[in-house]
Chain A
Amino acid sequence: MSSITPADVAVGATGDGGAPRQPGRVSLGGLSVNLRSSGIYIAFALIIVLFSVLTDGALLQPQNISNIIVQNSYVLILAIGMILIIIAGHIDLSVGSVVAVTGALAAVLMVNMGVAWPLALLITIIAGGVIGAWQGYWIAYFGIPAFIVTLAGMLLFRALTLTVLGNQGIGPFPDQVRTLANGFTDGYLGNIGLGPLGGADLFSLLIGIIAIAGMVLAQWRTRGARKGYGQAVEPVALFVLKMAAGAALILFVVVQLARFKNLPWVLVLLAVLVLAYSLMANRTVFGRQIYAIGGNLQAAVMSGVKVKSVVFWIFVNMGVLSAIAGVIFAGRLNQAGPTAGNSFELDAIAAAFIGGAAVQGGVGKVVGAITGGLIMAVINNGMSLIGSPSERVMLVKGIVLLAAVAFDVWTKRRTGASR
Chain B
Amino acid sequence: MTEHILRMSGITKTFPGVKALQDVNLSVRRGEIHAICGENGAGKSTLMKVLSGVYPHGDYEGEITFEGKRCEFGGIRDSEHAGIVIIHQELALSPQLSIAENIFLGNERARRGVIDWNRTNYEAGELMKRVGLRENPTTPIADIGVGKQQLVEIAKALSKEVKLLILDEPTAALNDDDSAHLLDLLRGLRDEGITCVIISHKLNEVIAIADSVTIIRDGRTIETLDMADDHVTEDRIISGMVGRALDNRFPPHEADIGEEAFRIEDWTVHSPSQPGRKVVDGASLTLRRGEIVGLAGLMGAGRTELAMSVFGRTYGVNISGRLFKDGKPIDIRNVQDAIRHGVAYATEDRKRYGLNLIEDIKRNISAAGLKGLSSRGWVNENEEYRVAEGFRKSMNIKAPGVTSVVGKLSGGNQQKVVLSKWILTEPDVLILDEPTRGIDVGAKYEIYTIINRLADQGKAVLVISSELPELLGLCDRIYTLSEGRITGEVPRGEATQERLMYLMTKGQE
Contact = CB atoms under 8 A, between A and B. Distances in A.
A268 B374 CA distance: 30
Contacts of B347: 302
B367 A303 contact: yes
Q: Is the interface of A mostly helix, strand, loop or mixed?
A: loop
Interface stretch (A2-10, A159-167, A172-180, A257-265): A2-10
Contacts of A283: 378-379, 381
Contacts of B445: 6, 9-10
A19 B370 CA distance: 27
Interface string B372-407: 001001110111011001000000101111001101
Interface in A283-327: 283-286, 288-289, 291-292, 295-296, 298-306
A302 B441 contact: no
A415 B378 CA distance: 32
Residue in B247, B251, B358, B445 with the greatest tally of chain A CB atoms within 10 Å: B358
Contacts of B441: 2, 4, 9
B300 interface: no
Given A302-B347, A362-B359, A363-B358, A231 B385 contact: yes
A283 B374 CA distance: 9
B442 A288 contact: no
B442 A303 contact: no
A307 B218 CA distance: 41
B15 interface: no
Contacts of A16: 398, 410, 412-413, 440, 442-443
Contacts of A231: 382, 385, 389
Residue in B338, B356, B377 with the greatest tally of chain A CB atoms within 10 Å: B356
A228 B335 contact: no
Interface in B337-390: 338-339, 345, 347, 352-359, 363, 366-368, 370-371, 374, 377-379, 381-383, 385-386, 389
Contacts of A282: 381
Interface string B156-188: 000000000000000000000000000000000
Interface residues of B, number: 62
Interface string B266-291: 00000000000000000000000000
Contacts, number: 151
Nearest to A228: B382
Nearest to A225: B382
Given A228-B382, A230-B386, A303-B368, A419 B421 contact: no
B485 to A, nearest CB: 26
A2 B442 CA distance: 11
Nearest to A20: B408
Given A288-B370, A302-B345, A20 B442 contact: no
Contacts of A289: 370
Interface in A1-25: 1-6, 8-20, 22
Given A288-B379, A300-B356, A3 B247 contact: yes
B138 interface: no
A362 B406 CA distance: 14
A416 interface: yes
B353 A302 contact: yes
B33 to A, nearest CB: 32
26 contacts: A4-B442, A9-B441, A9-B443, A9-B445, A11-B449, A12-B396, A16-B412, A17-B398, A18-B398, A19-B400, A20-B400, A22-B404, A229-B385, A285-B371, A292-B359, A292-B363, A299-B352, A299-B353, A299-B354, A299-B355, A301-B335, A303-B421, A304-B312, A304-B368, A362-B358, A363-B358
For the complex of A and B, list the 9 residue pairs with the smallest distance between their C-beta atoms, beginning with the closest: A295-B356, A9-B442, A304-B335, A303-B368, A9-B445, A17-B410, A303-B367, A15-B442, A20-B408
Interface of B: 218, 244, 247-249, 251, 311-312, 314, 334-336, 338-339, 345, 347, 352-359, 363, 366-368, 370-371, 374, 377-379, 381-383, 385-386, 389, 396, 398-401, 404-405, 407-410, 412-413, 421, 440-443, 445-446, 449-450
